[in-house]
A and B are shown apart, each in its own frame.
Chain A
Amino acid sequence: MPVHKPRVAVWKFASCDGCQLTMLDCEDALLAIADKVEIANFREASSAVVEGPYDLSLVEGSVTTPEDVRRVKEVRAESRVLVTIGACATAGGIQALRNFADVDEYRRLVYAQPQYIETLATSTPIADHVPVDFELRGCPISKAQLLEVISAYLTNRAPNVPNESVCIECKRRGNVCVLVAHGTPCLGPVTQAGCGAICPAFHRGCYGCFGPQGSPNVPSMLKELGELGMAPLPMYRVFRTFNAMAPAFRSAADSAVSEEDAP
C-alpha cells in the first residue's frame, strides 16, 4: 500500500447517478473507507476537489459527447487504477438505445433549439475509449461488490466478482426457480450474478441488469423463452435495456426478431 492514504476519485459521465448513490448507500462501510482513503473527488458527496493523480478512479456513466471523449482520457491519465461502475460505464447503458436509432431525429423532437446540443451519435462504454482495469456490472451496481472492488484495489489483489449466472445465486439463496416452477420467462441463465437474485426472490423473472454471464448460450435461451410463450417482440425488448450494447444481449435482441420486424 502507498505510504500516503490512497486517493480515490469518483467520476461521472452520462448516467443517472444511481451507482454513485449506491456508494453513498454504503453508510457505515463508507465511513470505514473514508478513514482509510482520501476521497479526492466525489461530487455526489462533497464539492471539494483534490488534484490528481489518483490511486483509484471509479467511473460512472457512458461516453455520449465529444467533451466526454476528451475528459475520459484525462481521467485515465490521472489514475493508477481505473474501474468502471454500472451498466452505463460498462455497456453504454439504457442511453445506448440511441445507437440503434437516428440521434438527429431525437434532437429535433426533444429540444426547441437543437442547434445548441452537441452530442455523439452513440453512447459507448468507457472501455471503448481508454484501457479499463476492471468493469463492475449492474444497474445499479451492488453495494457488496463495490466494497469488494475498492478493498481489492486498495490491498493490491484481484477483486472476487464471479461471472457466473444468476441461477447459482437463486439456488444459494433458496429461491424456487420461477422459470421451472411458475413458467415465468427469466433471463437468469444468461445473466451475470451479483444482484443477489432479487427479482426471482419476488417471483419476477430476471431482467438482465448485470449483463451477460461469462458464457451465455443465447440461442438456447431464446428458444426456451419462446417455448414459455414469449413472442418475438417482447423477447427483443427484454434484451434491449440497460445492457443492450453488451455483445451477447445485442445479438440476442437481433436474433429474436427478423430484420423487417425489428422496431
Chain B
Amino acid sequence: MVELKVGDRRVLGRGDFPAFFAALRDAGYDVIGPTIHDGAIVYDRLTRVEDLPIGWTDRQGPGKYRLERRGDQALFGYNVGPFTWKKFLYPPRERLWTAYRDGDAFSIEPEPVDGPPLAFLGMRACELAGVRVTDRVFQGGPVADPGYSARRSRLLRIAVECGEAGANCFCVSMGTGPGVGADVDLVLTEILEPGPHRFLLRVGSPAGAEVLARVPLTPAEPTDGQIAEAIVERTAGSMGRTMNTEGIRDLLRNNLEHPRWDNVAKRCLACTNCTMVCPTCFCSTQEEVPDLDVSKVERWRRWDSCFNLAFTELHGSSVRKSGLSRYRQWLTHKLGTWNDQFGSSGCVGCGRCITWCPVGIDLTEEVAAIRKSPGATAAAATKGGSP
C-alpha cells in the first residue's frame, strides 16, 4: 500500500465507510459526530456508522428547527445543530482543581486532564473556523488553558464540505466556508450523484494520513474533483443569509446609541441561548465548592453568559442591568471588539444563534438595520446613556 501524503486525494466508496469508521476506532480515537437525539442533530459519541443521521436533514428558520426525511441516504445531508464541538474541548462544567487544608497550610491538586484522543467526524468549515477562534482564546495568551490544550492536542479534525446551505447560514459573508481550507486533518466531500454514492477524501495532515493506512481507497479521477468543487460552489451560492461586514467594527462602535438596540432589547429574553449555542462564546464563571468544614475545596468552572445579570455583578449589583446593554455588549464584542482582542471576528457565520433564539432574533438583520440608518439616535431614549 502506498503511503498517503498531505494534499493527496482519494475516493472512499459509501460501502467502505464502515472500514474508515473502524479505522478511527482502531487507532484509539473516541469518535464524536452527528446523531439524532430528541428531534435534533446533536454531537455525541458514535459507535457505528448507523448512529449518523442517515437520510435526514434539518429545516431551520429564526427560532425554528425541524428534522425532515431526505429523499436519499446521505450521511451528512444537513447543517449545524444546537450543540457545538466546544462542549468536548471546553465542557459545560469542569473541575479545575481541589485544595486540601492541613492545619494552617493547604495543598492544591490539579485536575488530571487525560482521556482518549477525540476524532470529530463531520466538522463543517464554519466549525473549523470556530475551533481556530477558541484556540486563540484558550491557547493564544501567555497562559494556555490546560484542559482545553490537552484535549485539543489529541484532536483529529475530520471535516465535511457542506452539500447544501441552511436557511440561517452565512459562512460566505464571514469568509469561513463552505469550502474547507488546509488547516484540518481530513476532508470529505459527499458525492451522491452522478455515479455511485462516494466521498472525495483529501488528506490534510500526517495524523489524517495515518488513519487511512488500512482503509480501502481508490484513486480520485479529475471528474471527482470537479464534482466536489461544483458541490461547494452550489452551496456557496445558496446561503440563507448574508451579512455585510465592511467596516463593521467601526459601524457598531459609532452607533452605540442607535434606536435599534432598544428595538431588539424589547424582543430579547436575556435567556442566554444565543451564547450557549455559539461555537466561539467562551465565557465562564468560577465557583468554589467547599465541604461543610472547609477541609476540602473544589474549584469548578461552568459556562456563563453576558446575558446573565450576575455576569457583571460587582458589590451586589450588576453593571449591565438593562437587556439593551447586554445584547449590545454581546453583538459589539462578537462582531467588533473581538477583532481588537483576538485578531478576528468572533462570528463564523454558522447561524446557530438565529435558529436557537426562542424569539428568532437574527444578528444579520440587526446589523443591517443599524447600517441602514447609521448615526440615528433616539434622543429621549439615550439621555444619560443606557446602563
Contacts and interface: CB of A to CB of B under 8 A. Distances in A.
Interface in A154-179: 154-155, 160, 162-165, 167-168, 171-177, 179
Contacts of B290: 151, 155
A258 interface: no
Contacts of A155: 290, 292, 294
Contacts of A213: 270
B358 A177 contact: yes
Contact of A167 (B65, B66, B267, B276): B276
A71 interface: no
A219 B266 CA distance: 8
Nearest to A36: B292
Given A160-B287, A179-B358, A221-B269, A214 B42 contact: no
B112 interface: no
Contact of B40 (A163, A167, A181, A190): A181
Contacts of A167: 271-273, 276, 358
Interface stretch (B154-162, B248-256, B305-313): B305-313
A217 B323 contact: yes
Contact of A154 (B92, B276, B292, B358): B292
A117 interface: no
A192 to B, nearest CB: 11
A176 B38 contact: yes
Contacts of B63: 179-180, 224
Contacts of A174: 42, 83, 87, 92
Contacts of B83: 174
Contacts of A175: 38
B37 interface: yes
A163 B304 CA distance: 12
A172 B271 contact: no
Interface in A164-214: 164-165, 167-168, 171-177, 179-182, 186, 188-190, 203, 213-214
B292 A32 contact: yes
Contacts of A186: 358
Given A174-B83, A217-B268, A168 B292 contact: no
B292 A180 contact: no
A115 interface: no
Contacts of B271: 165, 167-168, 188-190
B82 interface: yes
Interface secondary structure of A, over-half rule: helix
A214 B38 contact: no
A151 B292 contact: yes
B93 interface: yes
B349 to A, nearest CB: 19
Interface in B94-108: none
B277 interface: yes
Interface in B15-64: 37-40, 42, 63-64
A163 B303 contact: no
A86 to B, nearest CB: 22
Contact of A176 (B37, B294, B302, B321): B37
Contact of A177 (B82, B291, B303): B82
A33 B271 CA distance: 35
Contacts of B205: none
Contacts of B268: 217, 220
Contact of A214 (B64, B66, B308): B308
Interface string A49-67: 0000000000000000000
Contact of B356 (A32, A33, A162, A177): A177
A171 B358 contact: no
A221 B38 CA distance: 23
Contacts of B293: 36
A33 B310 CA distance: 29
23 contacts: A33-B292, A36-B292, A155-B292, A167-B273, A168-B271, A171-B303, A172-B92, A172-B276, A173-B92, A176-B38, A177-B356, A179-B63, A180-B355, A181-B38, A181-B65, A181-B66, A181-B82, A182-B39, A189-B271, A189-B358, A216-B270, A217-B269, A220-B266
The 5 nearest A-B residue pairs measured at CB: A171-B276, A172-B92, A189-B271, A214-B309, A176-B38
Given A172-B276, A188-B271, 14 more contacts: A155-B290, A164-B308, A165-B269, A165-B270, A165-B271, A167-B271, A168-B276, A177-B273, A180-B64, A181-B66, A189-B273, A217-B268, A219-B266, A221-B269
